[in-house]
Chain A
């Protein structure tokens, strides 16, 4: 199994630009999570999908952030417009469980730098 796949691995962009991060969960997993990791705030859950439906997006920082899961094998996290404070590592994770008690499998992350 290839594990959770994220692209790109690194993204450098200028303030005001649109950024799209992509995630392919492990086949057969029905839960998908987007996290953001920074030195100041640690690992934060942004949004959680179950069976392609967003269940909890209370962690999405503001309207500039949006996430979609059009099918079971693909999800995107979009930031528009991006700001320097969005610089972080963004992780996607998937699991088999409708609740998080099962193991979450993390992708390698996308390191976003907004100049």
Chain B
């Protein structure tokens, strides 16, 4: 059974700072998604990482994947308030997604 651990679960950071969210998963996965969820809203796909060493960047967010270590990271550069949300790392086998608890990010002025 595929299990996911993200850390930290709660992250409060100042605008302008950098930080990394870590995601470990327990068994082999076909690919890995990062989703964003705003409070009371649905989920929005940010990145899909398909292979070892994959790196994707969009704005202030950069995601990477190390399949040998079963580790993905989401790096936040120069955080802004608009990035406040919950971020889920979602490794996937076939069409079945496995969610962890997510990381609740708050960016303070």
A and B assemble together: no
Q: Tell me the B residues contacting A by CB distance below 8 Å.
A: none
